Amino acid sequence: MAVRFKTLHPGVQVILTVHEFRCLGRGTELLVTVEDLRKAGIALEFLTGPITGLYDPGDRHGQGAILFGVLAALSGAERTYTRERTLEGQESARKRGRTGGRPPSLDADQIDYALALRAKGTPMKEIQQKIVIARGKHKGKNPSLPTLYRTLAEAGQDTPA
Protein backbone atom coordinates (compact mmCIF):
# COMPACT_ATOMS: atom_id res chain seq x y z
CA MET A 1 0.00 0.00 0.00
CA ALA A 2 2.85 2.38 0.84
CA VAL A 3 4.51 1.60 -2.49
CA ARG A 4 1.27 2.42 -4.34
CA PHE A 5 0.91 5.70 -2.45
CA LYS A 6 4.49 6.64 -3.34
CA THR A 7 3.86 6.05 -7.07
CA LEU A 8 0.68 8.15 -6.95
CA HIS A 9 2.38 11.00 -5.03
CA PRO A 10 6.06 11.01 -6.02
CA GLY A 11 6.90 14.32 -4.35
CA VAL A 12 5.72 13.25 -0.88
CA GLN A 13 8.04 11.52 1.57
CA VAL A 14 6.48 8.25 2.70
CA ILE A 15 7.52 6.70 6.00
CA LEU A 16 6.52 3.18 6.97
CA THR A 17 6.43 3.01 10.76
CA VAL A 18 6.69 -0.39 12.47
CA HIS A 19 7.03 -1.45 16.07
CA GLU A 20 10.31 -3.30 15.45
CA PHE A 21 12.02 -4.85 12.45
CA ARG A 22 10.55 -8.32 13.06
CA CYS A 23 7.11 -6.88 12.29
CA LEU A 24 8.16 -6.42 8.66
CA GLY A 25 8.28 -10.17 8.07
CA ARG A 26 10.63 -13.12 8.26
CA GLY A 27 12.99 -14.86 5.89
CA THR A 28 12.49 -14.21 2.21
CA GLU A 29 9.32 -12.23 2.95
CA LEU A 30 11.42 -9.61 4.78
CA LEU A 31 13.92 -9.55 1.95
CA VAL A 32 11.19 -8.85 -0.63
CA THR A 33 9.52 -6.21 1.55
CA VAL A 34 12.77 -4.37 2.23
CA GLU A 35 13.75 -4.44 -1.45
CA ASP A 36 10.32 -3.11 -2.52
CA LEU A 37 10.56 -0.27 0.00
CA ARG A 38 14.11 0.56 -1.08
CA LYS A 39 13.18 0.67 -4.77
CA ALA A 40 10.20 2.93 -4.03
CA GLY A 41 12.30 5.25 -1.83
CA ILE A 42 10.10 4.69 1.22
CA ALA A 43 11.71 5.41 4.60
CA LEU A 44 11.43 3.04 7.55
CA GLU A 45 10.86 4.11 11.13
CA PHE A 46 11.35 1.64 13.99
CA LEU A 47 9.70 2.54 17.28
CA THR A 48 11.45 -0.03 19.50
CA GLY A 49 14.32 -2.47 19.41
CA PRO A 50 18.05 -2.13 18.88
CA ILE A 51 17.69 -0.07 15.69
CA THR A 52 15.12 2.50 16.84
CA GLY A 53 14.96 5.49 14.52
CA LEU A 54 14.15 6.72 11.02
CA TYR A 55 16.01 5.30 8.02
CA ASP A 56 15.65 6.67 4.49
CA PRO A 57 17.14 4.52 1.71
CA GLY A 58 18.02 7.65 -0.26
CA ASP A 59 19.66 9.74 2.46
CA ARG A 60 22.94 11.55 1.78
CA HIS A 61 24.89 9.80 4.54
CA GLY A 62 24.10 6.27 3.41
CA GLN A 63 22.80 5.09 6.79
CA GLY A 64 19.41 4.19 5.38
CA ALA A 65 20.92 2.26 2.47
CA ILE A 66 23.21 0.41 4.87
CA LEU A 67 20.27 -0.47 7.12
CA PHE A 68 18.26 -1.80 4.19
CA GLY A 69 21.20 -4.00 3.22
CA VAL A 70 21.62 -5.20 6.79
CA LEU A 71 17.91 -6.00 7.04
CA ALA A 72 18.15 -8.08 3.88
CA ALA A 73 21.08 -10.01 5.36
CA LEU A 74 19.30 -10.37 8.71
CA SER A 75 16.27 -11.88 7.01
CA GLY A 76 18.34 -14.77 5.71
CA ALA A 77 20.12 -15.22 9.03
CA GLU A 78 16.83 -15.11 10.95
CA ARG A 79 15.38 -17.89 8.83
CA THR A 80 18.45 -20.10 9.35
CA TYR A 81 18.49 -19.35 13.08
CA THR A 82 14.78 -20.18 13.46
CA ARG A 83 15.25 -23.49 11.65
CA GLU A 84 18.23 -24.40 13.84
CA ARG A 85 16.29 -23.59 17.04
CA THR A 86 13.36 -25.70 15.85
CA LEU A 87 15.58 -28.68 15.10
CA GLU A 88 17.37 -28.31 18.46
CA GLY A 89 14.02 -28.22 20.26
CA GLN A 90 12.82 -31.33 18.48
CA GLU A 91 16.06 -33.16 19.32
CA SER A 92 15.81 -32.09 22.96
CA ALA A 93 12.21 -33.33 23.11
CA ARG A 94 13.22 -36.68 21.55
CA LYS A 95 15.91 -37.12 24.21
CA ARG A 96 13.22 -36.61 26.86
CA GLY A 97 11.03 -39.25 25.19
CA ARG A 98 8.58 -36.81 23.63
CA THR A 99 8.03 -37.36 19.95
CA GLY A 100 5.04 -35.11 19.35
CA GLY A 101 1.92 -35.95 17.43
CA ARG A 102 -1.26 -37.58 18.55
CA PRO A 103 -0.97 -40.43 21.08
CA PRO A 104 -1.60 -43.93 19.72
CA SER A 105 -5.25 -45.01 19.50
CA LEU A 106 -4.58 -48.50 20.80
CA ASP A 107 -2.69 -49.44 23.96
CA ALA A 108 -0.29 -52.39 24.26
CA ASP A 109 -2.98 -54.78 25.55
CA GLN A 110 -5.29 -53.98 22.65
CA ILE A 111 -2.46 -54.53 20.18
CA ASP A 112 -1.61 -57.88 21.78
CA TYR A 113 -5.29 -58.87 21.64
CA ALA A 114 -5.54 -57.88 17.96
CA LEU A 115 -2.34 -59.79 17.17
CA ALA A 116 -3.67 -62.90 18.92
CA LEU A 117 -6.96 -62.70 17.03
CA ARG A 118 -5.12 -62.16 13.74
CA ALA A 119 -2.87 -65.17 14.45
CA LYS A 120 -6.03 -67.29 14.82
CA GLY A 121 -7.16 -66.12 11.38
CA THR A 122 -9.87 -63.73 12.53
CA PRO A 123 -10.79 -61.28 9.74
CA MET A 124 -9.76 -57.68 10.33
CA LYS A 125 -13.38 -56.51 10.19
CA GLU A 126 -14.23 -58.71 13.20
CA ILE A 127 -11.12 -57.56 15.07
CA GLN A 128 -12.18 -53.98 14.42
CA GLN A 129 -15.60 -54.64 15.98
CA LYS A 130 -14.09 -56.27 19.10
CA ILE A 131 -11.70 -53.43 19.96
CA VAL A 132 -12.90 -50.16 21.48
CA ILE A 133 -10.65 -47.13 21.82
CA ALA A 134 -10.26 -46.33 25.52
CA ARG A 135 -8.91 -42.76 25.45
CA GLY A 136 -8.49 -39.63 23.40
CA LYS A 137 -10.53 -38.01 20.68
CA HIS A 138 -12.16 -41.26 19.50
CA LYS A 139 -12.85 -42.75 22.93
CA GLY A 140 -15.66 -45.33 22.83
CA LYS A 141 -15.38 -45.91 19.08
CA ASN A 142 -13.89 -48.77 17.11
CA PRO A 143 -10.57 -48.08 15.39
CA SER A 144 -10.61 -47.74 11.62
CA LEU A 145 -9.34 -50.59 9.48
CA PRO A 146 -6.38 -48.52 8.27
CA THR A 147 -5.44 -47.83 11.90
CA LEU A 148 -5.56 -51.54 12.67
CA TYR A 149 -3.48 -52.48 9.62
CA ARG A 150 -0.92 -49.76 10.37
CA THR A 151 -0.70 -50.64 14.07
CA LEU A 152 -0.24 -54.34 13.39
CA ALA A 153 2.31 -53.62 10.66
CA GLU A 154 4.25 -51.38 13.05
CA ALA A 155 4.18 -54.25 15.54
CA GLY A 156 5.88 -56.25 12.73
CA GLN A 157 3.37 -59.05 12.90
CA ASP A 158 0.90 -58.59 10.08
CA THR A 159 0.54 -58.06 6.37
CA PRO A 160 -2.78 -56.94 4.84
CA ALA A 161 -5.00 -59.88 3.97
Q: What is the dihedral of CA 122, 124, 126, 130, to 10 degrees?
A: 100
Give the structural domain span for 67. 2-95
Does one domain contain both 80 and 8?
A: yes
* Higher pLDDT among residues 53 and 7, named by residue: 53
**Beta-sheet pairing, 53-55 with 43-46:** antiparallel
Distance CA 134, CA 147 (A): 15
Do 57 and 82 have their domain in common? yes
The predicted structure's pLDDT at residue 1: 57
Strands lying side by side in the sheet with 53-55:
15-18, 43-46, 53-55
Are 58 and 126 within one domain?
A: no
Give the pTM. 0.42
Do 33 and 60 share a domain, yes or no?
yes
17/89 same-domain check: yes
The reply to whether 85 and 129 lie within a common domain is no
Per the document, the length of the chain is 161
User: pLDDT tens digit string along 35-69?
Assistant: 787 788 888 888 887 778 888 877 766 777 677 67
DSSP annotation of 63: H
